[in-house]
Amino acid sequence: MKILIVDDSLIIRKVLKNILKEKKVSESDMFDAPDGQAALEILNSHDIGLLLVDWNMPKLNGLELVKIVRKIEKYQSLPIIMITSEAAKYNVLEAVKAGVSDYIIKPVSGVTVLQKLKQYL
């Protein structure tokens, strides 16, 4: 399964990739993008099976990206996990309405990410 990580922080992308490696996800199945625009290009040219996306990003923010992705036919039931520091109730509801499947609160730690990803991998 191909996994796409979208985060403007290189470090977070690396951390998430390392966590995925622990789950025996091969390097060739991992994609990453620093912003929403770049992510859309990858989503269009590949069949992505899991999307990890940051909320706050330049150009196209995570929430907008998710709204666009949900409109793409093949991605209507794609598991989308939002990585966010916004844990307020109304923010989460906003994310749900946009089409987010699950969320991970920053700061990301290996244990919590793995726990969350278990059901999607």
Q: Which is nearer to another protein, 26 or 119 (CB)?
A: 119
Mask for 67-96, x = binds another protein (CB under 8 A): ---x-----xxxxx------x-xx-xx-xx
Reported for 22-28, long-range contacts at CB under 8 A and 24+ positions apart, including other chains, are 22/110, 22/114, 23/114, 23/117, 23/121, 25/1, 25/121
113 binds another protein (CB under 8 A): no
Backbone angles phi, psi at 55, to 5 degrees: -80, -55
Binders of another protein among residues 51 to 70 (CB under 8 A) are: 70
Residues that bind another protein (CB under 8 A): 70, 76-80, 87, 89-90, 92-93, 95-97, 99-103, 116, 119
